[in-house]
Structure 1
Amino acid sequence: MYDDLLQPFIRYGFMQRALVGSLLLSASCAPVGVFLMLRRMSLTGDAMSHAILPGAAVGFLLFGLKIVPMTLGGLAVGLLVAIGSGVVSRFTVQKEDATMAAFYLISLAVGVLLVSWRGSSVDLMHVLFGSVLALNDEALALIAMIAGLTFLALGIFWRALVAECLDPLFLRSVSRVGAPVHFLFLVLVVLNLVGGFQALGTLLSVGLMMLPAAAARFWSNQVRSMCFIAIAIAAASSLGGLLLSYHASLPSGPAIILTAGGIYILSILAGRRGVLRNAFASRGHRTA
């Protein structure tokens, strides 16, 4: 048991940094994913994860694989896409989901071309899929800062975020904070995707945000409870994925997301609101 579970994290510094970074991302990304899911914006998170690629690619072209330039570039382009899609949907006939899809497809294509233009296939794989085992102290500090900002924003604006999530029209009718809170939420999404990009790349960073949130929906109806359950699932996925990666010699990022996917499937079947529970409840009603 010791050799299988604890020894990799005690013996190797890169495993320790990977675990700390993954746990910080789990605590930060999972609650944001719950709000995205409840807003029925799950695919928006996926679109935004691709949208940060051109900014990260520009940072890569100018400074190489350095954390700060790629992060600032991804953050700038991610916010630009989020704001741009909102402006287009508000002043034209096109809905926000279609606008977001168009923006993210363009961003993904531009980003891949930019990285491929000056980098190698290894650089492209690093940007697209990340490398959680290669996290350094600078990346950990950035992830910790993003997690701290997320906790602060959730603590201060929790009630407004819940209200804007469940009934945005009501919030806008009784308060002027609806639009600012919506923008704040988009900023939190982009920030956490940028943080996840350091470990999981642009293609997989949304996985740690959405899969635990989707799994938590099968265990609770309350927003606060779903957030805590999602954090626990994300943390378990990070730990299990890193161990799976270490023992089976698998890529660490996909191993983490596949572990989260396994927990999601288990939640579908065995959750309090899952398939088996509903099937037994329906059978009990028919018997009665």
Structure 2
Amino acid sequence: MSLADALFGAFTLPFMARALVVMLVLSVIAGVVGVLVNLRSLEFITDGLTHAVFPGLAVGLAVGGASGVLPGAAVAALIGAVLLTWLMRSGIASDAGIAVVLTAAFSVGVIVVSKSDDYAGALEELLFGRVLTIPPSDVVPLVMVSAIALLLVALTAKQQVFRAFDAAGSRAAGNSAFALDLTLNVAVALVVVAGASTVGSLLVLALLVVPGAVARLLTGRLWLLFPLAGLFAALASWFGLAAGFAASVGAGIDLPAGSTIVAVFVLAYGVVLLGRLVRDAAVRRAASRDASPPTSSIPAAGERVA
């Protein structure tokens, strides 16, 4: 299979085109939201939200089948966002509170899934997603959920960035810390809902964390972080889907689509990180050479002058 067939020809198939549309929308929005997660150092909170959604996925699947997954995840995500925001703002140690919520939520989800007739299949779908089998009826709801998350971030972007760099100054300017934290957590939760329905609850964290981290490695310009993160996420999702298709059809290697996409995200992050380390080392060497004292033209004591 040629590179062009993998990158373009594969998406003439309806199920691949559907997967590409959903993943492009989800990954771009996850990348943009993930920049704020990175700036606020909320990766652990985000991890807690991905696990808090799991019981909603399980209950939705048990009650309404495949059509109940998205509503169940949405309810669980909003409850988890409010609860985790309250834990962050209370006197309770946030890491301990998140760990308790994470453990409790995940155990409830596993208990619910264990009552399913197809326990192994249901658990695998919830954990690792169903990128290539997204029903046509789920495309619009997934896009709408992602769009709401983007809208929440867009409406509060300046205030969120202000809070990320100067929390005290943000409060002094009249911004509500609780409202901003809740808004960001709800946006993250909505991305988790859409991501958990596609790449799975265990893999969606990569969509939220890796693009923002890559953008921070590529630029120090604040507002350039957002488009860079979105562009990286879109390209990595596209290449991930194409790589999985090429391996399955061209080489006969059955690769899970969601895991392949995440692997491309992580591999690309490694390449960018290596490039950044090489560049920084070169800059340090150049700076050390420039800082070296010039050779003096004044003769030393006792030295004969020509």
TM-score, with length taken from structure 1: 0.92
Distance in 1 (alpha carbons) for counterparts of 2:154 and 2:245: 36
1:114 to 96, 101, 112: 112
Report % sequence identity: 28
SS in 1 for 2:181: helix
| TM-fit CA distance, 1:40 | 0.8
Residue 121 of structure 1, CA deviation = 0.6
Within a 5 Å distance, the mapping from 1:236-255 to structure 2 comes to 236-249=235-248, 250-255=255-260
Assess if the C-alpha contact under 8 Å between 1:53 and 1:111 holds in 2. Answer: yes
Q: Residues 15-94 of structure 1 correspond to what in structure 2 (within 5 A)?
A: 15-66=16-67, 69-92=68-91, 94=92
Rounded Cα–Cα distance in structure 2 between residues aligned with 1:235 and 1:51 = 26
CA distance in 2, matches of 1:215, 1:227: 11
Aligned counterpart, 1:199: 198
Amino acid in the other structure paired with 1:264: Y
Question: Per-residue CA shift, 1:85-142, capped at 9, x if unaligned?
Answer: 34345444x3112211210111112112211221421111001110111112222111
TM-score normalized by structure 2?
Answer: 0.87
Query: Is this contact kept in 2: 1:27–1:147, CA < 8 A?
Result: no
* Mapping of residues 1-288 of structure 1, within 5 Å: 1-10=3-12, 12-66=13-67, 69-92=68-91, 94-118=92-116, 119-249=118-248, 250-270=255-275, 274-288=276-290
How far did 1:215 drift?
A: 1.1
The one-letter code of the counterpart of 1:184 is T
1:30/1:212 contact within 8 Å kept: yes
SS of the counterpart of 1:264? helix
SS state of the match for residue 9, structure 2? Answer: helix
The 1:149–1:87 alpha-carbon spacing in structure 2 relative to 1, beyond 3 Å, is closer
Q: Whole-Å Cα distance in 2 between the matches of residues 237 and 176 of structure 1?
A: 36
Unaligned runs of 5+ in 1: none
8 Å Cα contact 1:212-1:230 kept in structure 2: yes
- Measure how far apart 1:156 and its partner are: 2.3
Q: Take 2:40 and 2:87, find their aligned partners in 1: how far apart are those partners?
A: 20
Whole-Å separation in 1 of the counterparts to 2:102 and 2:141? 24
Aligned length: 281
When residues 215 and 75 of structure 1 are mapped into structure 2, their CA distance, relative to the original with a 3 A threshold, is same
Mapped contact 2:85–2:178 kept (Cα < 8 A): no
Q: Is the 8 A contact 2:33 2:150 kept in 1?
A: no
CA contact (8 A) 2:34 2:208 kept: yes
- CA distance in 2: counterparts of 1:243 and 1:127, whole angstroms: 23
Change (3 A) 1:90 1:144: closer
Checking the alignment, whether the CA contact within 8 Å between 1:57 and 1:70 is kept in structure 2 is yes
Higher radius of gyration, 1 or 2: 2
Deviations 1:191-215 (A, max 9, x none): 0100111111111112111111111
Matches of 1:266 and 1:28 in 2, distance apart?
A: 23
